Structure 1
Amino acid sequence: MTDACADIVSVFVCHFHVKKGNLIEWSFPDSFDLVKENSAVEFKSLPSGSHLVERDTIIFRKLVGDLFAISHLRNVKVQPGSETNLSEDVDERGSRMRSIGFICNSTEKFEVYRQFLTTDPGVDAIYENKHSSSYSVLEEFVTMQNASPVVVGKLIPFSEGCGFPSLIDTFGVQLLVLWRLSLLNLRILFYSSPPLDTICNQIFSISLLPNSKYNNFAHSLQNPTYQNSIILQENSHSSKSCLYVDSEKAKFYTSLLDISENRDGCFSDGSAYFACTSDKVIEETMKNCYDVFVDGDKIRTWRKDLTSVIKPTRADKHRLAELKRLQVFHSESPPGEIHYAFLKYFADLNDQIMKVLLQTNANFEAQSDFPDGSFAISERSSILSDNLGMELSSSQLSGIGLLPNCGDMEFIQELVSHHNLNVVVVKDGGCCPLFSF
């Protein structure tokens, strides 16, 4: 969490020229040079396939630098011969495609920016006119918004478009597969043809699937310099939570250019992310840039070691039934409360899993206290003794709400391997380990 600062770094207007391609038409302020910054906003704000839709809203990252962006595009039909200045090169063929967006320090006010871009009459005029006479409405909006600084913490404001119930409708049981994959810190790339508004919003919630208060602790076992985690903090002024997106993992929309150039190294092997794209060609031609490819409710991978992991289990179907019961229970609650109930479901389950794994880890004595302060030195010794130093049984997994006989035992084996834990998973009543690392 950093000090308060002006949220909007830059506002831009891009358009598609039939001869020159995607172009940056205008930006403000001049001190932030989009071309020099190599931000490629003209490709992310005008995604591949956008000519097929009338309007769309895209969320993306300025990958070189820790900034977020939201843009809105419109495809306006143009009547032949409607332009009066015929001396200019013809850059429109029946349609005018233009995108307006903001590069920001956070996502906190994205709903405000979305409303402005989609409803303001002054902005409408910029979309409609080939030669905009003035961008003053955009400059004035930036000045007004930056007069009220934000505290940059990657806050995710709730909106109905990014709620967990929409994920159940879209992915069904595959949502639980995505949850398991998210705990393995994989590179997960979603494909969608435009419009991309829905999948961009869903990335907010998907990035919260592995949310746990033990994330920093678990990552420290693999990388002592790891600093970023997804955080769920109780707000003392509200029954709801402050939701923060992992600034390293959530990439939102990524273009073919981003991935082909591997901007900022964020698509390299070992760099976990959640992202979406409208370039289907990536699935076959750039397999080294992702681990899992999600196309609607179909999850595919080129990695042989993940072929069994991406298949739904009976445990996944059981948890989906739990989520649907939770949805029915909160059916009359406000959308934000329903979203939070689902978020808490995953956070509690993740906390239970990570705590029992870390408690069982043979190296745990050398680690610092748990973040909730509930695990004292004497308690550690007792638990390690009960677990024969580093054994984890199926009955212990059942005790934290998992179903070891329905696929969860294999999932835990993968998780133990991923986090490089000194844990042996054993069958109850048996002497042979199911898995050891």
Structure 2
Amino acid sequence: MVEQSDRAPLLDWEEVPPAELATAGPSPVREEDPSAGDPSHRRPPSGDSAGVGWGSALGGGAAGVTAVRSTAPPERVGPEGDASATDEEGDCAFLGLSVKDRRITEWEEKDQIVAVFVVTFDTRSGNMVEWCLPEDVNLDGVEFKSMASGSHRIANDFIYFRKGSYFGLACFANMPVDSELERGARMKSVGILSPSYTLLYRYMHFLENQVRHQLQCPGQYSPLEAFYEDKKAVLPPGGNGLVTACPTSTLGSMVNRCMHPEMKITHPAGCMSQFIRFFGEQIMVLWKFALLRKRILIFSPPPVGVVCYRVYCCCCLANVSIPGMGISVPEFRPFFYINVADITALETELSYVACTTEKIFEEKKELYDVYIDNQNVKTHRESLQPLLRINSADREKYRKLSEQRQLLLYSQEVDEDCTSNEEDLFIVFFMEQNNRIFQTLSEVAGSADPTLTADHMRAMGLDPQGDRGFLVDLLEVYGIDVMLVIDNPCCPQQCFGEQM
């Protein structure tokens, strides 16, 4: 039993990851859709009981480990099962990182919870915010973001989403009840808001416990009240609530973590592994759209948790660590789950990746450039359609990525090497590919003869013919001034150029 400290009493626990994490598949319950209804708010009085545990994992095979704080720092177990010591203060940092690495990422290790809330589905009013802290926080639309359309057909799920300048994580659960008033099913979500999605995974297990508690003991919010008092953010005055990019002083061996921080939202297999297996060579198509900062929308029926992984992985495809590169292009922003309430916000976005369970978005072609349905990647923009074709250079890059993955898996199995993981490999692979392209383009643009040839394209890992259109678009998007000269395969002696 853990001795109590002077912290919030209901937060002095030690969370232990479940020994076995079962993936919960779709489970039809009722026909009523919780996404419809009046988004009015009600806040029943608070109760006093403590939270109860919920041992099952959420849909999609994901498991989060809550940040642990106690008077006697326990041994930490990383997401791959490897034990790693705590830092000198006994505080929880990135799981699986060394003490030195955790010192490097200390700038991210602050509690930044700006709101906690409970959403319920009412058979008369639809989705509604049942309770929240602080009471004056603007949660308009959160009742639909944290309970995806179609969720009534599944048992549980987790959802990453964006609310204004904040990011949210909600855990949803659907419990059968013997109640005609509730039509045989009780559905709730418990969620949090933060200026950054980087560390939301740390609270997934807590949210998972609390949504089950809310289903079993409606109206008892004491654990959530204590959680908010313990974790609430102290945001800078006059700020917009956004967490800025990683300070340059922390770059170096941790550049990939800083440029696109780990979500740690999956179990040992990792979301990158699932992403690679799901899309295969199509990853190279997504990579090009991501590098061109296109608006990418992913459709999938619930559960939506695993699709939030794909949003994150798509963002990782566009990492570049060359200083100053990409400053003039739109930020490639993850919106995670969206619904019809987000249409107005998306109309002004120049670049994003998002997912939805609402098929109506496919008809809103003005809102996206690329639409992904299952493994089918398509675009309604004629100028982008050639990028859907996989060429020889794409296959070669995918072959190299697959070889690196196999070597990593072999070293983990045979040599018991736990120092590397697939997420790092994936991020670094595409970052190095992107760096090679932009480094070459920068060197050519700054040379006495700013002419880009087929040899340059091969050196960048691109197909001189198949990737010509992609490169033309890339030069335009990033404002790089070079002359592109590629041999015409039909007339080898004839060349054409394009001044960008």
Unaligned 5+ segments in structure 1 are 82-89, 229-245, 362-379
Match of 2:221 in 1: 135
Q: Provide, for residues 297-319 of structure 1, a one-character-per-residue CA deviation record: whole Å limited to 9, x for no partner.
A: 11111111111112222222221
Q: Provide, for residues 51-108 of structure 1, a one-character-per-residue CA deviation record: whole Å limited to 9, x for no partner.
A: 111000000001x2x2110001111112245xxxxxxxx3x21211111100112223
CA contact (8 A) 1:190 1:293 kept: yes
Q: TM-score, normalised by structure 2?
A: 0.67
Shift of 1:166: 1.5
CA contact (8 A) 2:172 2:211 kept: no
Residue 106 of structure 1 pairs with residue 165 of structure 2: no
CA distance in 1, matches of 2:128, 2:109: 33
Match of 2:168 in 1: 69
Shift of 1:341: 1.4
Cα distance change, pair 196–173 in 1 and its aligned pair in 2 (3 A): same
Residue 181 of structure 1 pairs with residue 327 of structure 2: no
CA distance in 2, matches of 1:335, 1:3: 21
Residue 328 of structure 1 pairs with residue 429 of structure 2: no
Shift of 1:21: 1.4
Q: Provide, for residues 8-60 of structure 1, a one-character-per-residue CA deviation record: whole Å limited to 9, x for no partner.
A: 111111111222111111101124242xxx3x100111111111110000000
More helix by share: 1
Shift of 1:218: 3.4
Matched residue SS, 1:107: coil
Matched residue SS, 1:340: helix
CA distance in 2, matches of 1:343, 1:196: 23
Residue identity in the other structure for 1:349:
Q
CA distance in 2, matches of 1:189, 1:206: 11
Match of 1:192 in 2: 300
Residue 311 of structure 1 pairs with residue 389 of structure 2: yes
CA distance in 2, matches of 1:318, 1:177: 13
Residue 302 of structure 1 pairs with residue 386 of structure 2: no
CA RMSD of aligned residues (A): 2.7
Q: Provide, for residues 189-233 of structure 1, a one-character-per-residue CA deviation record: whole Å limited to 9, x for no partner.
A: 00111001111123222211110024743343x6xxx7x6xxxxx
CA distance in 2, matches of 1:12, 1:79: 26
Cα distance change, pair 149–328 in 1 and its aligned pair in 2 (3 A): farther
Q: TM-score, normalised by structure 1?
A: 0.76
Task: Give the alignment of 1:13-52 within 5 angstroms.
Answer: 13-34=118-139, 38=140, 40-52=141-153
CA distance in 2, matches of 1:399, 1:358: 14
Match of 1:85 in 2: none
Please, which moves more after superposition, 317-326 or 421-430?
421-430
Match of 1:337 in 2: 421
Residue 144 of structure 1 pairs with residue 204 of structure 2: no
Matched residue SS, 1:302: coil
Match of 1:370 in 2: none
Matched residue SS, 2:202: helix
Shift of 1:293: 0.4
Residue 425 of structure 1 pairs with residue 491 of structure 2: no
Matched residue SS, 1:25: strand
Task: Give the alignment of 1:6-405 within 5 angstroms.
Answer: 6-34=111-139, 38=140, 40-62=141-163, 64=164, 66-80=165-179, 90=181, 92-118=182-208, 120=209, 123-129=211-217, 132-146=218-232, 152-153=243-244, 155-160=261-266, 163-214=271-322, 216-220=324-328, 249-259=333-343, 262-263=344-345, 266-268=346-348, 271-284=350-363, 286-331=364-409, 332=412, 333-334=417-418, 337-361=421-445, 380=446, 384-385=447-448, 388=449, 390-405=450-465
Shift of 1:169: 0.9
CA contact (8 A) 2:115 2:232 kept: no
CA contact (8 A) 2:171 2:211 kept: no
Residue identity in the other structure for 1:47:
A
CA distance in 2, matches of 1:336, 1:198: 23
Matched residue SS, 1:309: helix
CA distance in 1, matches of 2:324, 2:373: 31
CA contact (8 A) 1:5 1:152 kept: no
CA contact (8 A) 2:391 2:463 kept: no
CA contact (8 A) 2:156 2:171 kept: yes
CA distance in 1, matches of 2:108, 2:197: 15
Residue identity in the other structure for 1:72:
C
CA distance in 1, matches of 2:335, 2:183: 33
Q: Provide, for residues 242-274 of structure 1, a one-character-per-residue CA deviation record: whole Å limited to 9, x for no partner.
A: xxxx5xx11111111112xx12xx433x61001
Unaligned 5+ segments in structure 2 are 1-104, 237-241, 246-260
Please, which moves more after superposition, 350-359 or 273-282?
350-359
CA contact (8 A) 1:3 1:152 kept: no
Cα distance change, pair 133–19 in 1 and its aligned pair in 2 (3 A): closer
Shift of 1:153: 4.8
Q: Provide, for residues 339-370 of structure 1, a one-character-per-residue CA deviation record: whole Å limited to 9, x for no partner.
A: 11121110011011112223333xxxxxxxxx
- Matched residues, number: 363
CA distance in 1, matches of 2:313, 2:419: 14
Cα distance change, pair 276–334 in 1 and its aligned pair in 2 (3 A): farther
CA contact (8 A) 1:187 1:267 kept: no
Shift of 1:435: 4.1
Residue identity in the other structure for 2:365:
K
Match of 2:56 in 1: none
CA contact (8 A) 1:123 1:137 kept: no
Cα distance change, pair 147–414 in 1 and its aligned pair in 2 (3 A): closer
CA distance in 1, matches of 2:188, 2:470: 46
Residue identity in the other structure for 2:112:
D
CA distance in 2, matches of 1:402, 1:301: 21
% of aligned pairs identical?
29
